[in-house]
Structure 1
Amino acid sequence: MNNLKLDVADQIAVLTISRPGALNALNSETLDELNTVLSEIEARDDVKVVILTGGPDKKDNAFKSFVAGADIAEMVNFSAAEARAFGMRAAEPFFKLMNMRQVTIAAVNGFALGGGCEIAMACDIRIASDNATFAQPETGLGIIPGFGGTQRLARLVGMGRAKELIFTCDNIDAAEAYRIGLVNKVVAKEELMDTARKMASKIISKGSYAVSIAKAAINNGYDMDIKNAVEMEANLFGITCSTHDKTEGMTAFLERRAADLTDF
């Protein structure tokens, strides 16, 4: 991989986007690499959580940029058809982050602009360093967000705030991103990766198969009517009650001991 680094330890995969000279901007090569590596990770039973973050810039500043956007140098001469294809190229790995059985955490360590904000929103959970900056600046370039920004942002922060951010191209800091619900947590930059790993370890300590089913229930039920969504949940609840982890977890609870949860 030319633009990604992958480190797996203790059932956690840390996936780092590394394009130092471009502040980790997303070009076609990077999107294709993401698509490939996420497929490989999803097939691994030894990975329960993925932490996505950005690598240092060319001056080795580790907190300059998470992902500074899509690569404008590649986009500048796109035709309408090429731009659509670029958006769909991003959709595939972004949907993998959203739907893969592993939990995905974005550890946002600096600029999360345009495509950077969009890839963070595709993850299940977002933790931001206190110096992080978020924006959807596309209308200032005469285009609109093309990697899901008009859709995921409204779902996370509400239609009114999403319209304001997209129409004005305003940058917001980590504290404001937390206030409006764009991120789950804000921490000092020196604590970012440790906080993400601690959250990952806590999630791993639960029933991983149950967590993956809960993720699917939340994702699939979000756009369903409540009656069908609750019926879907009941069906999935039934499935989890047929597992080793259900038997072990409930027995351990009644016996007042720690459960040994092993399903995935």
Structure 2
Amino acid sequence: MSGQGTTAAPTLAGRITGEIYGKIGAIVIENPRQRNALTRDMCIELAEQVRRLDADPRVKVITLRGSGDDFSAGAAINELHQVLFDAGPDGETIDHLSAADAAIGAARKPTVALVRGTCMGGGWQIASACDMSIAADTVKLAVTPSKLGIIYPRSGVERLVQRLGADKAKYVLFSADVIPADKAATWGLLTEVVPDSDFEALSQALVSRMATRSQYSIHTMKALIDSMTTGGNADDDLWREEWAKLPASEDFAVGQRAFLEGERPRFTWSG
């Protein structure tokens, strides 16, 4: 399958590629010598690829996966300082892993992590920044700062506590144990786990379905759900605003008419 709008950014130890297949923007983490660990430059390019695909009108869904058999082993250990504590132009310290995390979280379009093999440390943080994660049942997942004598980035810790509760978050962080795929899904570390033999077919079918659904519905509900998880009362005004717009939505009319006529809806909203 050939991509439309392919771009790739090489780095010393790896690269991030971004390709467009029909309505899908596919980002791939490539650093096979380090199980797709993320270098400083790879984190920067990952954020840029997310922003590029999010702005491309052809793209309806953004996927993130690792090349080969692994998702990502996290931050590259040989570049750990450059990834987490890089010096900015004004003397500030830049955490490039969390900046990539933030770029994924800021995307208006739905993002899906497709997880196989190793998913550890910062690899889980990047996967969990996506709207959902679909994983093979053979995945090896662990959050490992206590093995390295470091502190996990704040956004990753907050997400762990939000999903697991304080006690399980501490268990995952303190032990650095590998969490079996089924338990990871039950706890909320992964959205869904499927048999490895069916992973490609099932994950691609889900992504394709999402690309045909109402993008008005998806974009609006994503914004509303995200507003709930950031705290504060801003979501109240957003809910009132979006609910007031709903009766005049073109996709609302298309969906209702198609249902009543027994036809497949052809949604037209494009953002």
TM over 0.5: yes
Mapping 1:44-55, distance limit 5 Å: 44-55=56-67
TM norm structure 2:
0.86
Partner of 1:237 in structure 2? 243
Are 2:22 and 1:16 equivalent residues in the alignment?
A: no
The letter of the residue matching 1:85 is T
Q: Is the 8 A contact 2:71 2:116 kept in 1?
A: yes
Deviation at 1:148, TM superposition (A): 2.4
Paired residue for 1:125, among 112, 132, 145? 132
The letter of the residue matching 1:251 is R
Paired residue for 1:71, among 61, 73, 76? 76
Paired residue for 1:210, among 196, 207, 217? 217
Q: Is the 8 A contact 1:50 1:102 kept in 2?
A: yes
| Inter-partner Cα distance in structure 1 for 2:82 and 2:98 | 21
Partner of 1:111 in structure 2? 118
| Inter-partner Cα distance in structure 2 for 1:221 and 1:242 | 24
Partner of 1:34 in structure 2? 46
Partner of 2:176 in structure 1? 169
Partner of 1:250 in structure 2? 256
Q: Is the 8 A contact 1:25 1:69 kept in 2?
A: yes
Q: Is the 8 A contact 2:97 2:122 kept in 1?
A: no
Report the CA distance shift for 1:76/1:99 in structure 2 as closer, same or farther (over 3 A).
closer
Alpha-carbon displacement from aligned partner over 1:82-124 (angstroms, at most 9, x marks no partner): 598342x222321221231211111111111110010011000
The letter of the residue matching 1:67 is S
Are 2:204 and 1:191 equivalent residues in the alignment?
A: no
TM superposition outliers: structure 1 runs of 4+ over 4 Å: 76-84
Report the CA distance shift for 1:34/1:240 in structure 2 as closer, same or farther (over 3 A).
farther
TM norm structure 1:
0.88
Over the aligned positions, Cα root-mean-square deviation in angstroms equals: 2.3
Deviation at 1:229, TM superposition (A): 3.5
| Inter-partner Cα distance in structure 1 for 2:256 and 2:61 | 24
The letter of the residue matching 1:114 is G
Structure having greater relative contact order (Cα 8 Å, sep ≥ 6)? 1
The letter of the residue matching 1:10 is G
The letter of the residue matching 1:176 is K
Deviation at 1:157, TM superposition (A): 2.0
Report the CA distance shift for 1:39/1:76 in structure 2 as closer, same or farther (over 3 A).
closer
The letter of the residue matching 1:239 is K
Q: Is the 8 A contact 1:99 1:219 kept in 2?
A: no
Report the CA distance shift for 1:99/1:179 in structure 2 as closer, same or farther (over 3 A).
same
Q: Is the 8 A contact 1:112 1:132 kept in 2?
A: yes
Paired residue for 1:85, among 84, 87, 93? 93
| Inter-partner Cα distance in structure 2 for 1:146 and 1:6 | 25
Alpha-carbon displacement from aligned partner over 1:161-186 (angstroms, at most 9, x marks no partner): 11110111111121110121211211
Which sections of structure 2, spanning at least 5 residues, go unmatched? 1-8
The letter of the residue matching 2:93 is A
Alpha-carbon displacement from aligned partner over 1:27-73 (angstroms, at most 9, x marks no partner): 111011112111110111111111111112xxxxxx2x210010110
The letter of the residue matching 1:73 is N
Are 2:12 and 1:7 equivalent residues in the alignment?
A: no
Deviation at 1:228, TM superposition (A): 6.0
Q: Is the 8 A contact 1:221 1:232 kept in 2?
A: no
Are 2:102 and 1:95 equivalent residues in the alignment?
A: yes
| Inter-partner Cα distance in structure 2 for 1:149 and 1:208 | 28
Which sections of structure 1, spanning at least 5 residues, go unmatched? 57-62
| Inter-partner Cα distance in structure 1 for 2:62 and 2:186 | 25
The letter of the residue matching 1:112 is C
Q: Is the 8 A contact 2:63 2:112 kept in 1?
A: yes
Between Structure 1 and Structure 2, how many residues are aligned?
255
Partner of 1:59 in structure 2? none
Are 2:267 and 1:261 equivalent residues in the alignment?
A: yes
Are 2:146 and 1:134 equivalent residues in the alignment?
A: no
Partner of 1:60 in structure 2? none
